[in-house]
Amino acid sequence: METNLCVAGFGGQGIMALGKILAEAACDSTDKKVTFFPSYGAEQRGGTANCYVVISDEEIGAPLGDVMDDIIVMNGASLAKFLPRVRPGGRLFVNSSIVKDEIGRGDITVVRAPVTELALELGNAKVLNVIMLGVYVGYTRIIAPDIVWNAIEQTLGSKVSLLPLNREAFRRGLALGEAAREDR
Amino acid sequence: MARVFMKGCEAMAEAAVRAGCRFFAGYPITPQNEIPEYMSRRLPEVGGHFVQGESEVASVSMVYGAAASGTRSMTSSSSPGISLKSEGVSYCASARVPMVYINVARGGPGVGSIQPAQMDYLQATKASGNGGFRMRVFAPATVQEAADMVYAAFDYADRDRNPVLILSDGVVGTMMEPVELPPMKTEEEVAAIKESKRSWAIVGHKLDYAHRAWIQPGQWSTLLQQKENEAAAALYESWKSDARAEEYLLEDAEIVLTSYGICGRIAKSAVNVLRREGVKAGLIRPLTVYPFPYGAYDRIDYRRVKGILDVEMSIPALFLEDVETAVAGRARISTCLCSGGNIMSRDAVLRAAAKIMEGN
């Protein structure tokens, strides 16, 4: 079993942190193989940012797939760029606060989450990536939520004052993801 | 050992520190900046020194100097920067000064692209500077291999008194993977390594002519220069038995994929897909690209094999030249290539393999 994920959005939306936390949780919790591959270069300076996570029972070939099983999309430009690369039967997790477009593909599962609005409700726009991570983990159950939470805690490190906000953000995301899973 | 999740560049830098590297000089270039960044923080913690030179030439020359004092020393760069370092590397080879350097390769020629590529194969394996010297060149495919190879490289460099090159690429350097780091050498061990070089290193000798150390990148005497070149040639010859390759499912293989570094692991995953589809595929992935593991290709059963597929992220094909020498006309060789910073697609490898199996 191998899962290929691409996370894409604007620079500043915490795209790299989302992918890296998930990959670190996979490294910590299992004996699975895992890779995290960030895009690097000009697109990080003001345009779209994206990264790839592969979690597998086998040795991993390329740390990014020709086609993706899952994509997480935080803005419209990323949807246009990565939607054609989702395999039939794959899953799209989309920030529905920003991306209002018709998805236009009937052969994939679409999970919509208004993560920008939810983050603003929580009082900090920056936690939209943690909410989306919760949605993804809640829906896919790719890694146990408490292990992902440990990885978030580790990432925040000494910034303990941010823990309650992030805990609530992750919890909300998880609830959304789990609800979407039950509605399938 | 617990596994930690690390970026290739950082794992290589940490492995160097653990091997006893106490001096690093470099100059920024994408995609290897995490190596000097990591070293700038880490080396002072262990009593080592980091210098950001004013250029590649300056930084490799600083490494030449530090290594000449017996200190385990390293530099790193990416393709165009590696070209600039070729002068200092050649000087180290000529003066028989051990050092380790890392190429986190990107597109070329020229300034190329900052994205991953394998365009530096011939430069790395045949001529990394003027004067016909050779080096051991290691080609990691994973973060684990990258760390292990850097760690081992310092021992090889010291044993041979010669530079050693790690030929990685922008994927291996920037991706993160779980890695078990090699053990940290104690301060006593690091000091003992330095002490073991006293016979030739600049460590503070008596002022008389007989005892002083003499680091010299060339000889004025033509006779002496020839003698030194003969000794170096004998050294290079002695490495042949150290050539290493991963040989995977070769015994019954009807098609053999061959590739190195990042492409090697992509080719291996293609072999696994082919096997699941019932195609008898195998793989040869050189771990040392100099010395090249020619012997691995003798273990292909050429009566069965329909073709060899050379997979590399370089156009024109470069690794192909060594593969052709190794196969020596015993089978037809096809290529699957990409370049310009594009990462090899496994689907493209599978399509190329299918063509061979169909007899095209």
The answer to whether residue B79 is domain-embedded is yes
Number of domain units in chain A: 1
Out of B134, B162, B195, pick the residue that ends a domain: B195
pLDDT for B262: 97
The minimum CA-CA distance between B56 and chain A, rounded to whole Å, is 21
What range does the domain containing A100 cover? Answer: 2-182
Interface test with chain B among A16, A24, A37, by most B beta carbons within 10 Å: A37
Does A43 have pLDDT greater than 80?
Answer: no
How far lies B129's CA from each of B37, B163, B230, B315, B360, in Å? 26, 12, 18, 22, 40
Q: Are B103 and B140 a contacting pair, CB within 8 Å?
A: no
pLDDT for A184: 81
Instruction: Quick: pLDDT tens for B72-130.
Output: 999 999 999 999 999 999 999 999 999 999 999 999 999 999 999 999 999 999 999 99
Q: Which amino acid is at A123?
A: G
Out of B162, B180, B195, pick the residue that ends a domain: B195
Please check whether residues B256 and B171 belong to one and the same domain: no
Partner residue facing B5 (CB), from A23, A63, A66? A23
- CB-CB under 8 Å, A33 with B178: yes
Report the residue count for chain A: 184
Please check whether residues B156 and B8 belong to one and the same domain: yes
User: What stretches of B275-331 adopt beta strand conformation (E)?
Assistant: 281-286, 288-290, 307-312
Query: Which ranges of A30-162 does DSSP label H, i.e. alpha helix?
Result: 76-82, 115-121, 128-140, 145-156
User: Higher pLDDT residue, A184 or A8?
Assistant: A8
List the beta bridge partners of residue B164.
B100, B136
Please check whether residues B190 and B258 belong to one and the same domain: no
What range does the domain containing B255 cover? Answer: 246-357
Q: How far apart are the C-alpha atoms of B239 and B347, rounded to whole Å?
A: 37
Say which CATH number the domain at B325 has: 3.40.50.920
Q: Are A42 and A59 a contacting pair, CB within 8 Å?
A: no
Say which CATH number the domain at A63 has: 3.40.920.10
Q: Which residue has the tokens 């993804």?
A: A136
- Using CA coordinates, name the residue in chain B closest to A24: B5
The answer to whether residue B72 is domain-embedded is yes
Say which CATH number the domain at B31 has: 3.40.50.970
Please check whether residues B43 and B170 belong to one and the same domain: yes
pLDDT for B1: 59
The minimum CA-CA distance between A44 and chain B, rounded to whole Å, is 13
The answer to whether residue B222 is domain-embedded is no
Instruction: Quick: pLDDT tens for B123-137.
Output: 999 999 999 999 999
Instruction: Quick: pLDDT tens for B240-276.
Output: 999 999 999 999 999 999 999 999 999 999 999 999 9
In chain A, what residues touch B175 (CB-CB under 8 Å)?
35-38, 63
Interface test with chain B among A2, A31, A35, by most B beta carbons within 10 Å: A35
- Using CA coordinates, name the residue in chain B closest to A38: B175
The model's confidence at residue B209, banded by pLDDT at 50, 70 and 90, is: confident
- The ipTM estimated for the assembled molecules is 0.94
The minimum CA-CA distance between A134 and chain B, rounded to whole Å, is 21
Q: Which amino acid is at A184?
A: R
Residues A108-129: what's their mean pLDDT? 96
Q: How far apart are the C-alpha atoms of B84 and A62, rounded to whole Å?
A: 30
- CB-CB under 8 Å, A23 with B176: yes
- In angstroms, what is the C-alpha Rg of chain B? 21
Q: E strand or H helix at B124, and its extent? A: helix B121-126
Number of domain units in chain B: 2
Partner residue facing A61 (CB), from B31, B176, B346? B346
Out of B195, B223, B255, pick the residue that ends a domain: B195
Instruction: Quick: pLDDT tens for A56-106.
Output: 999 999 999 889 999 999 999 999 999 999 999 999 999 999 999 889 899
The answer to whether residue B216 is domain-embedded is no
Q: What residues in chain A have their Cβ under 8 A from chain B's Cβ atoms?
A: 20, 23-24, 27-28, 33-38, 40-41, 58-64, 66
In three-state secondary structure terms, B34 is helix
pLDDT for B59: 98
Please check whether residues B191 and B318 belong to one and the same domain: no
List the beta bridge partners of residue A7.
A51, A72
pLDDT for A45: 57
Phi, psi of A89 (to 5 degrees): 90, -5
